[in-house]
Amino acid sequence: MRDMHVHTEFSCDSDAKMEDYIEKAKASGIGTICFTDHVDLNTNDYGYNYYSADRFWERFNEIKYNADMLIEPLAGIEFGEPHLYEKNLKELTKYPYDFVIGSIHWIGDMFPCQKVREQYSAKEFYTLYWKEVLKTVQTGGFDALGHIDFPKRYYGEIYYEEAVINEIFRNLLEKDLVIEINTSSLRKGHAQTMPGKELLEIYKANGGKYVTIGSDAHVVEDIGADYETAKSMLEEVGLQEVIYRQRKRQII
Ligand SMILES: [Zn+2]
Ligand SMILES: [Zn+2]
């Protein structure tokens, strides 16, 4: 088992320690764990400017040095809205990260919180959201697009036009990016992972081959959560699980 999306105390919304994840991973039979803390540069975000690469790397290097053969810790980031902060991303990735997730959490000053959900129908919000996703995959500079249908976690439903999704996947594949299967929505009581099978099938139809699997854990107990569900779904669709080391895709 592998978990390519895990948050630690270096994210503003987690207190979890790397060493505790490592212990839990070992006990759960997880061989590879990638720490992907939030890097948020939108001033509306609680985590604005919270991340410190120096602090992360200091701790990560200690963890890596002390890790035994059973476990492979990888260094990553979850970078918010990469198309808006290209220079910052370039600067940050001078550090030797293994894996960079690019995620859209914000549309300007809008997050799909309750207030926004009262103002915008799912269709209205998703229409704005997909525009941002398209811009970000056209810009690239990261490895995997995070939780492609993110508003689902808040709206509980998905809206899309297939032509728009096709355009997103075409651009994403041109930039040699992949998508992740993010299982955190299952823990919030939703029926589907992000994305669910439907979008994975459209990804495949557009020539997509590879996906990473991540729990998006913010607490130690959630590492590897619903890995089997994600794995069996990607096998059903005919996709291949990958991880990244030193920003290079590795087929499992
Ligand atoms: Zn995220
Ligand atoms: Zn995350």
**One digit per residue, pLDDT tens: the chain, 252 residues?**
999 999 999 999 999 999 999 999 999 999 999 999 999 999 999 999 999 999 999 999 999 999 888 899 999 999 999 999 999 999 999 999 999 999 999 999 999 999 999 999 999 999 999 999 999 999 999 999 999 999 999 999 999 999 999 999 999 999 999 999 999 999 999 999 999 999 999 999 999 999 999 999 999 999 999 999 999 999 999 999 999 999 999 999
Output the CA torsion sign for 40, 46, 48, 51. Answer: negative
> What per-residue confidence (pLDDT) applies to 69?
84
Report residue 39: phi and psi, to 5°.
Answer: -120, 105
User: What's the gap in Å between 51 CA and the centre of ligand 1?
Assistant: 14
Residue 165 identity: I
Task: Please name which ligand lies nearest the alpha carbon of 146.
Answer: 1
CA distance 237 to 34: 25
SS3 (DSSP) at 198: helix
User: What's the gap in Å between 147 CA and the centre of ligand 1?
Assistant: 7
Which pTM value belongs to this model? Answer: 0.98
> What per-residue confidence (pLDDT) applies to 68?
86
User: Exposure pattern of 29-49 as b/e (b: 16+ CB <10 Å)?
Assistant: ebebbbbbbbbbbbeebebee
Q: Which of the four CATH numbers 1.10.3720.10, 3.20.20.140, 3.90.1300.10, 3.40.50.11540 does domain 2-251 have? A: 3.20.20.140
- Give the gyration radius of the chain's Cα atoms: 17
User: What's the gap in Å between 218 CA and the centre of ligand 2?
Assistant: 8
Output the CA torsion sign for 212, 215, 220, 222. Answer: negative
User: What's the gap in Å between 39 CA and the centre of ligand 1?
Assistant: 10
Question: Tokens in use for 13?
Answer: 């919304």
Report residue 240: phi and psi, to 5°.
Answer: -115, 130
User: Exposure pattern of 222-247 as b/e (b: 16+ CB <10 Å)?
Assistant: bbbbbbeebbebbeebebebbbbeee
Q: What angle do CA 55, 40, 218 make, to 5 degrees?
A: 70
User: What's the gap in Å between 232 CA and the centre of ligand 1?
Assistant: 23
Residue 208 identity: G
Would you say 153 and 147 are in contact if contact means Cβ atoms under 8 Å apart? yes
User: What's the gap in Å between 147 CA and the centre of ligand 2?
Assistant: 8
User: What's the gap in Å between 78 CA and the centre of ligand 1?
Assistant: 7
User: What's the gap in Å between 38 CA and the centre of ligand 2?
Assistant: 7
CA distance 243 to 249: 6
> What per-residue confidence (pLDDT) applies to 67?
86
Q: What angle do CA 62, 65, 68 make, to 5 degrees?
A: 125
Task: Please name which ligand lies nearest the alpha carbon of 12.
Answer: 2
CA distance 58 to 54: 6
User: What's the gap in Å between 64 CA and the centre of ligand 2?
Assistant: 21
Axis-axis angle for helices 122-139, 162-174 (nearest 10): 20
User: Exposure pattern of 68-82 as b/e (b: 16+ CB <10 Å)?
Assistant: eeebbbbbbbbbbbb
Q: How many residues does the chain have?
A: 252
